[in-house]
Amino acid sequence: MVSTIQNTDVKQKEADRAVVVAVTSRAVFDCGADDGDEVCEVGVAFPLLQALQRVNERLLEENPTESLLFDVVLITSDSQQQQQSSRIISNTRHHGLEISRFCFSSEEDFTESLLKNNVHLFLTTDRDEAAQASQKGVFSALLNGKVASSEQLRVVFCGDAVIRTDAEPPSASQDAAQSFWAQLGEMRRRFGVLDSPLSLVLLTSRGGRESCGAALQTLRSRGVNMDEAYSLAGAPRIPILSLLRPHFLLINHLED
């Protein structure tokens, strides 16, 4: 059973142009036990939503009729959170978050709500949820556990999986990933090199400069120009990731 509530405070985006990003509500609000207090704590995804909103604001500044915008949808799939549905909605208003739709479903069919809402990217802190969504062909990513501090939306792409041999047919999830990246690339092109509200970062862990270079070229051929590039060539990833401060990390789940 899947139900969707539209947020009437927010202008709905153009369905065929917007980049639909779904986030699990438990990552946005930490509504504790019913203690009467209406205001919930903010979760790890909160700064991300603010960053997405800033990107939208800047896009509209460049072009008030811009339709390539982030369209944020909140997914609530656990029953506990569902009991808090009114609090979730009221907190959204309270914090001024530009969430256009609230989707409620059971744990078993949350992927259905993703597909129904044409979600381009699903963000969660739960690895299993991400894997499940991936299997259904929805591009998923894990939210950065540490709250990112930058105002700029920082998207880190772990690029080892960018180069696929042509022998393998692309999976539904890989196609979804590619189209999401193309959309991000287009958004990025709306801004100049400096003072962009979003930064695209390529990180290759294995391979050396050649594979990072090949990834840069492949992405460029898809219209995605990276701002930053890091070739680790086997060096540990974690120290570098903590410096990169991504809001979310795009990794090929099948590989990692």
Partner 1 sequence: MSQNHGHTLTARGPDLTSISNRAPWEDARMKLKPSTPTRKPKPPKPENAITIGVSARVLFNMEKEQQIYEQQGLEDYIKYQVEHETQPFSPGPAFSFVKALEAVNTQLRELYPDSEELFDVVLMTNNHAYVGLRLINTINHHQLFIERFCMTGGNSPIGYLKAYHTNLYLSSDPDKVREALEEGIAAATMFTQEKITEVSDTQLRVAFDGDAVLFSDESERIYKAHGLDKFFEHEKAHENKPLDHGPLKGFLEALGKLQKKFYGKGQRMDCPIRTYLVTARSAASSGTRALKTLRSWGLEIDEALFLAGAPKGPMLEKIRPHIFFDDQMFHVEGAAEIGTVACHVPYGISQAMPKKGINDKETSSAPK
Question: Alpha helix locations (H) across 29-73?
Answer: 46-62
Least Å from the CB of residue 11 to partner 1: 33
**Given the rule CB under 8 A, which residues bind partner 1?**
160, 163, 165, 192-194, 199, 201-202, 206-214, 216-217, 225-236, 239-240, 243
Q: Which is nearer to partner 1, 32 or 234 (CB)?
A: 234
Q: What span, in angstroms and rounded, lies between the C-alpha atoms of 93 and 81?
A: 17
Distance CA 61, CA 122 (A): 27
User: Hey, is 41 helix, strand or coil?
Assistant: strand
> Whose Cβ is closer to partner 1: residue 106's or residue 178's?
178
Considering beta carbons, is residue 183 or 231 the nearer one to partner 1? 231
Nearer to partner 1, 123 or 219 (CB): 219
Helix (H, G, I), strand (E, B) or coil at 38: coil
CA-CA distance, 198 to 187, in Å (whole number)?
Answer: 9
Supply φ then ψ for residue 255, to 5 degrees.
-90, -35
Nearest to partner 1 of 32, 208 (CB atom): 208
CB 130 within 8 Å of CB 141? yes
Least CB distance from residue 60 to partner 1, whole Å? 23
Min dist CB 160 to partner 1, Å, is 8
Closest approach, Cβ 24 to partner 1, in A, equals 30
Shortest Cβ 82–partner 1 spacing (Å): 42
Exposure string over 168-193, b if 16+ CB within 10 A, otherwise e: eeeeebbebbbebbebbbebbebbee
